[in-house]
Structure 1
Amino acid sequence: MKSFKSLAVNVISSAILLSAVAAPAFAATAAKPAAPTKPATPVVQVQKPQAKGVVITSKVIQQKTAEYEANISLPVISGLTDKAFEAKLNADILKLAQDELKASQIGGKQDAIDAKKYGYPVHPHAIDISYKVQSVGKLVAFSVQTYTYTGGAHGMTDVTFYNIANLDKAKNLQLSDLFQPGYDYRYVLNNLIKQQIQTNPEIKDMYNFETIAENQPFSFENGNLVIHFTQYEIAPYAAGMPSFTIPSRSFVNLLKPDVKALLQ
């Protein structure tokens, strides 16, 4: 059982963060939010995408056959201080794309064989990978979106978010890396997300949210923290990939000093 002191610290810190949110903003793919209020100027001023010694270029792969089609544009990172991390990061991103491409090729060819054998129309498989840069600087932030279609009623989309601390020893930050010890950040963020769901009548009966994970995908956008969910994770396919915006004023003072420095 937690000591009374430990429990008090968590309750107080949670109350501070919860009380800081006057009008949380909500954003969700394919779900129209309630009319938003004009956001306050963010405390954390995230730089617009720009090169601060870091350059992101594209590696393009395009293939098309009767069985499958691939349109791939991958980010290639250069200029990180930690060269070993940079090499592994680029290699990992490329391997994930190659694995998806191989699966599309194999699946498309097999489905074409089956279609010919059983006399039904061929539905070519498809893979589309693209990326978006959120910011480049001390925090190298970008996302890679992968869309795959395997012949069913619809395709599936997945997004991987990268938040790279460009330091002598680089690290891809997880949500659990952001906050100072002693704060029950999951309890706080869970309540903020639940509040946004319950106050939006268009979605509150559609979503089934309980808790975020320690490695829940996130990004920083316009200085605010955005928590992302995958398709089907907390809502039906029609809801797309929901995301919830946490205003900077509600978390900036709880960030670790080194994380806050990355966002200046």
Structure 2
Amino acid sequence: MTTRKSVVSALLSTSLILGAIAVPALAAPPVQPAAAGTQQESRIVFTPKSTNISAKEYEAKITIPIISGLADKAFETQLNAELQKFAAESLKNTQAQSKADAELAKKGGWELRPHALDISYNVIHTGKLLSFAVTTYTYTGGAHGMTNVTYYNIANLDKAQSLQLSDLFQPGFDFKYVINNLIKQQIADEEKRTGFEMSYWFEGISDNQAFSFKDGNLVIHFGQYEIAPYAVGMPSFTIPAHRFQNLLKADIRDLLK
């Protein structure tokens, strides 16, 4: 597992070529009514902020949310700033790498495969628990692109908190043991169903493992290459509510109501 992860980390590290390249500002769309481009529930509003750039060396399609309606305005401001910074830095990296690769292609006499950056978001839940995901796809000319999904789970309270998986459970309960065994069982069930051994190297979840909630159930998410080969994609495992509800902190159960 360590060798595979090291190879992946090296590939990703070498793909980021930093440079001082001007980054165009993300263009905010004109104000639209809720039905025409915003998602609203419990006074929380997601307004898309987009930019599309098409150049010889790369193409970028970026849509990030501008979030309003949180109880904690300072947290709201910081969160929006972080999302905009992430988009700007991702665009800068794409511009820098595509320019560098274009120069190499010119010197080497080979045709450049235009790079690509695609950032989008998906709202999972709003209310006391604010949950959304930001998906980033990058292509740098290789056999295939890479996709990364960042899940945000925020306690929408007067003092907002960005929740990690370990924040959900009461102290003293070994939630990892419970979840790890359920995931291993699901992998084993899939192997039995398909009739062949799945290519997983799952050993266990981390304190900050990506997660979301769906229909009251806990969903554990893994990235590309995290526990399986590229062909497997980004595996996710649903943990039924009755398997973990008694382990949750009381205030977390309140957020999910």
> Structure 2 length as normaliser, TM-score?
0.82
**Equivalent in the alignment of 2:223:** 230
Check whether the contact 1:50–1:135 (CA below 8 A) recurs between aligned residues: no
1:133 aligns with 2:123: yes
> Following TM superposition, by how much is the alpha carbon of 1:61 offset from its aligned partner in structure 2, in angstroms?
1.2
Structure 1 SS opposite 2:67: strand
Structure 1 SS opposite 2:84: helix
Distance in 1 separating the partners of 2:248 and 2:141: 45
Q: Please, which moves more after superposition, 203-212 or 248-257?
A: 203-212
**Equivalent in the alignment of 1:243:** 236
**Equivalent in the alignment of 1:35:** none
**Equivalent in the alignment of 2:154:** 164
Distance in 2 separating the partners of 1:103 and 1:124: 14
1:200 pairs with one of 173, 190, 195: 190
RMSD: 1.1
1:188 aligns with 2:178: yes
1:121 aligns with 2:111: yes
The Cα offsets for residues 171-212 of structure 1, whole Å up to 9 and x where unpaired, read as 111000001111000111111101111111147431110010
1:217 aligns with 2:210: yes
The letter of the residue matching 2:95 is Q
Q: Please, which moves more after superposition, 70-79 or 198-207?
A: 198-207
Check whether the contact 1:63–1:70 (CA below 8 A) recurs between aligned residues: yes
The Cα offsets for residues 87-128 of structure 1, whole Å up to 9 and x where unpaired, read as 110111111111111000011111111111111011111000
1:174 aligns with 2:164: yes
**Equivalent in the alignment of 1:17:** none
- In structure 2, the CA distance between the partners of 1:92 and 1:204, relative to structure 1 (3 Å rule), is farther
**Equivalent in the alignment of 2:254:** 261
Check whether the contact 2:40–2:46 (CA below 8 A) recurs between aligned residues: no
Structure 2 SS opposite 1:102: helix
> Following TM superposition, by how much is the alpha carbon of 1:132 offset from its aligned partner in structure 2, in angstroms?
0.4
Check whether the contact 2:48–2:65 (CA below 8 A) recurs between aligned residues: yes
The Cα offsets for residues 204-241 of structure 1, whole Å up to 9 and x where unpaired, read as 43111001000000000111100000100100000000
Structure 2 SS opposite 1:200: helix
**Equivalent in the alignment of 2:136:** 146
> Following TM superposition, by how much is the alpha carbon of 1:60 offset from its aligned partner in structure 2, in angstroms?
0.2
Structure 2, unpaired ranges of 5+: 1-38
Tell me the percent identity: 61
The letter of the residue matching 2:145 is G
Check whether the contact 1:144–1:160 (CA below 8 A) recurs between aligned residues: yes
Check whether the contact 2:151–2:210 (CA below 8 A) recurs between aligned residues: yes
Distance in 1 separating the partners of 2:205 and 2:88: 30
> Following TM superposition, by how much is the alpha carbon of 1:252 offset from its aligned partner in structure 2, in angstroms?
1.3
**Equivalent in the alignment of 1:80:** 70
Whose RCO is larger (CA < 8 A, sep 6+)?
1
Structure 1, unpaired ranges of 5+: 1-48
Question: What is the 5 A alignment of 1:103-114?
Answer: 103-114=93-104
**Equivalent in the alignment of 1:41:** none
The letter of the residue matching 2:105 is A
Distance in 2 separating the partners of 1:104 and 1:196: 38
